[in-house]
Amino acid sequence: MKAFDEILKETKFFHGLAPEYIQLLAGCASNVRFDPGEYVFREGESANAFYLIRHGQVALELHDPRRGQLIIDTLNEDEVLGWSWLFPPYKWVYSARAVILTRAIAMDGKCLRDKCDSDPVLGYDLMKRFAVVMIDRLQATRLQVLNVYG
Amino acid sequence: MVEQALFQDQLVADPMTSTPFRIGRVVKESYDTFTLELVPQGRYQTFPFAPGQFNMLYVFGVGEIPISISGDPQHPSLLVHTTRAVGTVTKAMRALKVGDAIGVRGPFGSAWPVKEARGYDVVFVAGGIGLAPLRPALYQVLAQRDRYGKIVLLYGTRSPEDILFRSELEKWRSRFDLEIYVTVDYANSKWHGNVGVVTRLIPKAPFDPLNTIAMVCGPEVMMRFTALELQKRGVPSDHIYISMERNMKCATGFCGHCQFGPTFICKNGPVYPYNQLQSWLALWEV
Ligand SMILES: Cc1cc2nc3c(=O)[nH]c(=O)nc-3n(C[C@H](O)[C@H](O)[C@H](O)COP(=O)(O)OP(=O)(O)OC[C@H]3O[C@@H](n4cnc5c(N)ncnc54)[C@H](O)[C@@H]3O)c2cc1C
Ligand code: FES
């Protein structure tokens, strides 16, 4: 089986990160799997991790009292799930449900925050990586709310 | 271009006169979108056209509008149009029944670069009703499958209920030589596909960017962001083709109604290489 540092190095998210940091972050990683329909996390729960999806698909859901459970986004292989662990109050804003069998690397949020606090260069690098993910999602969300298909 | 001129010579003997066609079949595609199959008659025993071209359809007593041809160019005995009911004419068109008459003028305009794309991977990106004008190009590419590299269709629409040509998409999905990815803006938990805008599908779609011809059709904002995303992946801007929509009247380059920057969309378009329009698309109120 591949070591976590090998796996992290190959992800798009950590591409190009210095090997010593990859090694350091590997200490915060663990393997997780979710069966179809199983929740990765639910709206309002404590946000203690983010996930790098290795295989499968996860749906981000929001509960609407009138229309029921609505899917607002789906994430697939090699995409990053979750950034609520980064900012207080560290609570998930949406629910995330595995659509099909999903395997991911869970990165422990508390462990990452501690490492970032004690090494701001790493913290800044990680923030920049999350900023790219957030900007991409924001852009896509804007198009979604614009109802671009007319 | 030569091929296109031939079509125009053959068919638009009088491009200003509408010819009545009978409606042979009506297909309800979704709650607001429908397909009309028109049976050529009189001097039109067949209706050859190039993928991407459009006709001016006249609902008698109501008005005339441009609608792309959505049928199979290999079967010109049937003239097919898929329309979304948005306003006066399209809603009147939706009320037409089998046996009713509709006026047809055309075909007009430029074509998708189906021949030029030979030897390349071909990526179709459709948004909403934009799948209809792309369908003839897909038919033609699939009819000569071995002349192309990978063929990918990325299709985004509002919700699962808005998906057009559903049974055909399912049939195509079962082919091993065509990759289809569908995404919707929102869905309930019964939906097992992608949710998110169509541009999100581009980064991971299986094609070789430097050896790709992309054909993009949908609302203008969607096409702009799609072109940006394709360029980010490395597809050269002159390999990206888009189909433009503007209000039209004559469709023959006389009235100036469809002017967009330096070009008349009815005559020079609607299909253009993206690099020809790129700078104009970014301008407001053009
Ligand atoms: C080259 C070309 C090809 C086209 N191909 C197709 C096609 O294959 N299928 C198809 O359904 N349409 C197509 N269109 C668009 C179609 O011509 C218009 O939807 C139609 O002219 C609207 O006429 P209307 O009288 O029903 O609407 P109007 O009464 O003129 O408009 C009513 C309302 O609808 C809005 N509206 C007008 N046009 C559109 C539009 N395109 N999309 C969304 N809202 C609109 C207006 O802003 C207005 O609010 C094409 C247009 C062009 C230029
Ligand atoms: S519609 Fe008259 S010039 Fe194009």
User: Each residue of B155-206: pLDDT tens digit?
Assistant: 999 999 999 999 999 999 888 899 999 999 989 888 889 999 999 999 989 9
Which structure tokens are listed for A42? 């639910």
8 A C-beta contact, residue B113 and residue B214: no
Nearest CA to ligand 1 atom 7: B67
Tokens 């192309």 sit on residue: B148
If one compares B253 and B10, the residue with the highest pLDDT of the two is B253
Q: How far is CA B186 from CA A53, A72, A95, B170, B278, in A?
A: 21, 5, 15, 20, 30
Q: Is A55 left (phi over 0), alpha (psi -120 to 50) or beta?
A: beta
Flag if B199 and A143 touch (Cβ within 8 Å).
Answer: yes
**Residue B129 CB contacts under 8 Å (≥ 6 apart), including other chains:** A149, A150, B33, B82, B83, B84, B164, B218
Tell me which ligand sits closest to the C-alpha of residue B265.
2
Which structure tokens are listed for B199? 């541009």
Flag if A61 and B195 touch (Cβ within 8 Å).
Answer: no
User: Which of the listed residues B108, B141, B164 is the one where a domain comes to its end?
Assistant: B108
Least confident of B8-12, B44-48, B80-84, B198-202: B8-12
Tell me which ligand sits closest to the C-alpha of residue B16.
2
Is the per-residue pLDDT at B2 higher than 60?
no
For chain B, give the mean pLDDT: 89
| Sequence letter at residue B179 | E
The pLDDT score that the predictor gives to residue A2 is: 77
8 A C-beta contact, residue B64 and residue B128: no
Which structure tokens are listed for B241? 């083709």
Q: How far is CA B273 from the centre of its chain?
A: 15
| Sequence letter at residue A51 | Y
DSSP B69: B
The residue-averaged pLDDT of B7-21 equals 65
Assigned domain for B126 exists: yes
User: Which of the listed residues B68, B84, B108 is the one where a domain comes to its end?
Assistant: B108
Query: B156 and B249: one domain?
Result: yes
pLDDT band at B134 (very low <50, low <70, confident <90, very high): very high
Query: B40 and B154: one domain?
Result: no
Interface A:B, Cβ pairs < 8 A: 77
R_g (Cα) of chain B, nearest Å: 18
Assigned domain for B114 exists: no
Q: How far is CA B243 from the centre of its chain?
A: 7
pTM across the whole model: 0.88
Assigned domain for B113 exists: no
Give which of A31, A43, A27 is closest to A122, Cα–Cα.
A27
Flag if A149 and B129 touch (Cβ within 8 Å).
Answer: yes
The pLDDT score that the predictor gives to residue B13 is: 55
Say which CATH superfamily domain A30-145 falls into.
Jelly Rolls (2.60.120.10)
CATH number assigned to the domain comprising residue B21: 2.40.30.10
Helix (H, G, I), strand (E, B) or coil at B60: coil
Which structure tokens are listed for B147? 């002349």
User: Which of the listed residues B67, B84, B108 is the one where a domain comes to its end?
Assistant: B108
Helix (H, G, I), strand (E, B) or coil at B177: coil
Flag if B197 and A69 touch (Cβ within 8 Å).
Answer: no
List average pLDDT for each run of 10 residues in chain A, which is 150 residues long.
86 93 93 96 94 96 85 94 91 94 95 93 94 91 80
Nearest CA to ligand 1 atom 45: B86
Q: Percent of chain B scored above 70 by pLDDT?
A: 93
The pLDDT score that the predictor gives to residue B284 is: 56
| Mutation site, B189, B190, B223, interface A, largest A CB count within 10 A | B189
Ligand 1 surroundings by CB, under 6 angstroms: A 150; B 54, 63, 65-68, 82-84, 86-90, 129, 132-133, 245-246, 248, 270
Flag if A143 and B221 touch (Cβ within 8 Å).
Answer: yes
CA distance, residue A118 to nearest chain B CA (Å): 34
Assigned domain for B229 exists: yes
| Mutation site, B30, B154, B195, interface A, largest A CB count within 10 A | B195
Residues forming a β-bridge with A60:
A73, A96
Structural domain that includes position B271? 121-281
Give, for ligand 1, the residue of B68, B90, B135, B246 to mutate: max count of ligand atoms closer than 8 Å to Cβ. Answer: B90
8 A C-beta contact, residue B112 and residue B69: no
Asked if B128 has any chain A CB less than 8 Å from its own CB, the reply is: yes
Count the domains in chain B.
2
The pLDDT score that the predictor gives to residue B44 is: 67
CATH number assigned to the domain comprising residue B234: 3.40.50.80
Give, for ligand 1, the residue of B94, B220, B223, B245 to mutate: max count of ligand atoms closer than 8 Å to Cβ. Answer: B245
Tell me which ligand sits closest to the C-alpha of residue B263.
2
Query: B151 and B272: one domain?
Result: yes
Query: B179 and B262: one domain?
Result: yes
Strands B179-184 and B194-195: parallel
Query: B61 and B192: one domain?
Result: no
The pLDDT score that the predictor gives to residue B18 is: 85
- CA B224-B158-B107 angle, to 5 degrees, is 60
ipTM reported for the complex, 2 dp: 0.81
Enumerate chain A positions whose Cβ falls within 8 A of a Cβ in B.
57, 59-61, 67-74, 76-78, 97, 99-100, 139-140, 143-144, 146-150
Query: B129 and B249: one domain?
Result: yes
Flag if B191 and A71 touch (Cβ within 8 Å).
Answer: yes
Farthest CA pair distance, chain B: 53
Query: Residues B75-113: pLDDT tens digits?
Result: 888 899 999 999 999 999 999 999 999 999 989 999 999
Assigned domain for B132 exists: yes
Give which of B275, B273, B277, B276 is closest to B52, Cα–Cα.
B273
Strands B19-28 and B101-108: antiparallel
Query: B125 and B83: one domain?
Result: no
The pLDDT score that the predictor gives to residue B262 is: 85
Give which of B88, B84, B79, B65 is closest to B21, Cα–Cα.
B79
Query: B125 and B104: one domain?
Result: no
**CA A68 to CA A64: how far, in whole Å?**
5
